[in-house]
Structure 1
């Protein structure tokens, strides 16, 4: 993103249904997610049910921690290079049945949209930092 722009990403493998109740490695993965300030959901657009994949993650986050589920999120359909443009458009339409925003379209292979996704994460982190620092010096005076 440029000089001075940096943050740490935690790659959390896909959660399975029931992760919040301890299925699979759910609690271990969700414990790591708790340390994240922004969530970047990468949804494989080559799967049959992108809406279901997104819903499963959202449900597990909510079941584990409503506070965690309220964190800022960036949603992206990944692997767009593997589908025809009209198929990608169909997946976007399907995802929008359960997600109110506009999902980003990215490809890890061709890097299309990757910088935009990272920029969105960085933007959210900047907003969080501003909120955390707001009023911090308001009561301070040099006298």
Structure 2
């Protein structure tokens, strides 16, 4: 009986670890070195892809541009860039009180100036993805 319990526990732990490993792999940050800086890409659990371009001069961040590609299962916005999508921005503004474009502008400005980024109210998912990619790029810069 005790052996069965150990086998069941081991099996459950193995399944959980496999699922977590898969989740981690999907959410990792892909980094590409460019002549002007770095491009970082990551996906969230829905499939939205965040793209952060960081421009560097003399070892300092001089500009940052962020956008996201809408997740594939989105009926209206699949594959579209959120920043330039007026309908998406209006929908987010109505739902959360801030548009995607406004939230990204705050994140980009804080990142460029070295301010601490907590969270932008109404844009939690976007903030999380931005911060994850920015942390990865910061490790490369330093």
TM-score (norm 2): 0.25
Which has the larger Rg? Answer: 2
Query: Normalized per residue, which structure has more strand?
Result: 2
Larger RCO: 1 or 2 (CA < 8 Å, sep 6+): 1
